[in-house]
Chain A
Amino acid sequence: MEGLLDFLKPPVAGLQDFYILSGRALRNLFRGPHYADDIFIQMDAIGVGSLWIVILTGFFSGVVITMQMSRALAQYGATGQVGQIVAITLVRELGPVLTALLVAGRNASGIASELGSMKVTEQIDAMRALGTDPIQKLVTPRMIATCVMLPLLTIVADFVGLLGGYVIAYFSIGLPSSQYWTNAYQALQYNDIVQGLLKPFVFAFIISLVGCFYGLRTSGGTQGVGLATTKAVVVSSIWVFVVTSMLTRIFVNLN
């Protein structure tokens, strides 16, 4: 029993610290001072910085889904319905998850290493010593910026993915443009759009807060920064999968 408790103590304490950090970051939304400059800098780093990789990944996911699905659908003589499948898989699941994983790889790591370096060079301590709350100055702007940019990036990924699907459907399968687009458009219900936008919003909290969390608890010099970076990417990616499964389960049951 003693052994089990000792074994569980670090993860439980860690989770508790994570809740405290998240609580403070959220509470700071309603309290000043607000650092607008930092929010815009982060939006630029997260949103604009990830745009090309998101476009590229989104486009090729659409291409690949269309190629695979059109083959499967051909067995039922339903190749014409491919737009529907591309739209639903992309908007509901792949768009949000792929974008979140890309942003986790690029930005959870970036956030963790930046805050981690600040921690080991005592910049975080200096900030507190000089009357600035590091959570207000560093965590909240990153959280806000990610929550704004990730849904937008997801919309871009969805759209570019549909476009990629269209390129295959039109040039390779030979479907008429109007059939693909009408099919895709009609497949999407209100529920799909809601879940397609709610997911990136929730992922944004996970990615930014996990990145900040591991950054701020970095210890042990430059080596510690590397460790924090890796942990931030791994843990935020795992949570993206766990949360998307939970949310999908809820939304599937709603229908």
Chain B
Amino acid sequence: MTSAASNTAATESLLRFDTVSLNFDETVALDSVSFEMCAGETRVVLGAAGSGKTTLLKIAIGLIRPDSGRVYLFDQEITGLKEAQLFDIRSKVGVLFQEGGLFDSITIAENVAYPLLNSRTHAVPLDEVEPKVREALRFVELEQTMEQFPAELSGGMRRRVGIARAVVSEPPLVLYDSPTAGLDPITATTIMALIAKERDSQDIANLIVTQRYQDGQLMANFRYNRTSGHLEPASSNGGAAGHGSDPARTVFMVMKEGRVVFEGTQHELEASQDAYIQKFVPKYS
């Protein structure tokens, strides 16, 4: 499992939580959460509704400030930074929000162009914006919707536009908040396949928050094959396609009432005897 590639990649820390806690009035949203995420890693965060998944993701990019603890993004502590200082570092992270977060007053194309046009660190030349937007939308197979508005699309299509916007600036880290919530099983699988495809074509690190175990299973066991252009079971092509395709690089994390109650591989997750954790793992798998 430990190829040379994954060893060198593991040294680079992308996101680190150090005993982070947050309360909303009486509610405990996060309770001493600590973990570290490294380059090339896919981290799947499972947990019941209200267990603090969205809160964790928003704290990771400084949208919410924790009550205590420290957060490091790309090895830089962000806990004490001012909003203006956060803008630079956030532009290296793509985010898909649970509620979509698409701007409904502008078109799909303008939405996807937004990260390119508003980045303060790496301004993209104007003539490169259009092709990049087109490419990102083609990736999620929605090139034809460029001039439409978010309200005119279906829920699944909006989710795909959200993915296009999250990845258009090719950030090294992408956070997905419940990408399959509220979708039918077929659309959900399509969305996860897109996320896996994006991960394996760019070697991007992903943090995926979800309530569905199948989403994590797909990320852990399937790889996008760049040559064939298909999603394939990971075992069939071994570790040959780069460090992003090492199954050990998918880490599962389970949250319960603001605490991390499990962190480990899919194997360890399935072997767990804890009643709460077992609820996330379908028996037949």
Contact = CB atoms under 8 A, between A and B. Distances in A.
B158 to A, nearest CB: 10
Interface stretch (B68-76, B89-97, B265-273): B89-97
Interface string B20-57: 00000000000000000000000000000000000000
A122 B118 contact: no
A127 B119 CA distance: 11
Interface residues of B, number: 23
B58 interface: yes
Contact of A131 (B58, B102, B120): B120
B99 A130 contact: no
Given A129-B63, A129-B90, A132-B118, A123 B83 contact: no
Given A120-B99, A122-B100, A130 B115 contact: yes
Interface in B77-122: 83-84, 87, 90-91, 93, 95, 97-104, 114-115, 118-120
A122 B115 contact: no
Nearest to A41: B105
A131 B98 contact: no
A236 B93 CA distance: 39
B144 to A, nearest CB: 23
Given A129-B61, A129-B63, A131-B120, A122 B101 contact: yes
A229 B230 CA distance: 49
Contacts of B91: 130-131
Interface residues of A, number: 13
Given A128-B63, A129-B95, A130-B115, A123 B102 contact: yes
A125 B101 contact: yes
A131 B95 CA distance: 12
A126 B95 contact: yes
A126 B97 CA distance: 7
Interface in A221-240: none
Nearest to B175: A129
Given A120-B99, A131-B87, A125 B118 contact: no
Contact of A121 (B83, B87, B100, B118): B100
Contacts of B114: 130
A130 B101 CA distance: 11
Q: Which 9 A-B pairs have the closest CB atoms?
A: A126-B101, A122-B101, A122-B97, A122-B99, A131-B87, A121-B99, A131-B118, A129-B95, A130-B115
Interface string A106-132: 000000000000001111011111111
Contacts of B93: 129
A93 interface: no
Contacts of A126: 95, 97, 101-103
Contacts of B120: 131
Given A128-B63, A132-B118, A121 B90 contact: no
A224 to B, nearest CB: 13
Contacts of A128: 63, 83, 90
Give the interface centre of A122, A125, A127, A130 by most chain B CB atoms within 10 Å.
A130
Nearest to A10: B25
Interface of B: 58, 61, 63, 83-84, 87, 90-91, 93, 95, 97-104, 114-115, 118-120
Nearest to B120: A131
Given A129-B61, A130-B118, A123 B87 contact: no
A131 B119 contact: yes
A121 B105 CA distance: 13
A225 to B, nearest CB: 13
A130 B166 CA distance: 9
A125 B97 contact: yes
Nearest to A38: B105
Which of A121, A127, A131: most chain B Cβ within 10 A?
Answer: A131
A209 to B, nearest CB: 19
Contact of A125 (B58, B104, B119): B58
Given A121-B101, A125-B101, 15 more contacts: A121-B99, A121-B102, A125-B58, A125-B97, A126-B102, A127-B103, A128-B83, A129-B61, A129-B97, A129-B101, A130-B114, A131-B87, A131-B115, A131-B118, A133-B84
B58 to A, nearest CB: 7
A208 to B, nearest CB: 18
A123 B111 CA distance: 11
A137 to B, nearest CB: 10
A140 B100 CA distance: 25
Contacts of B115: 130-131
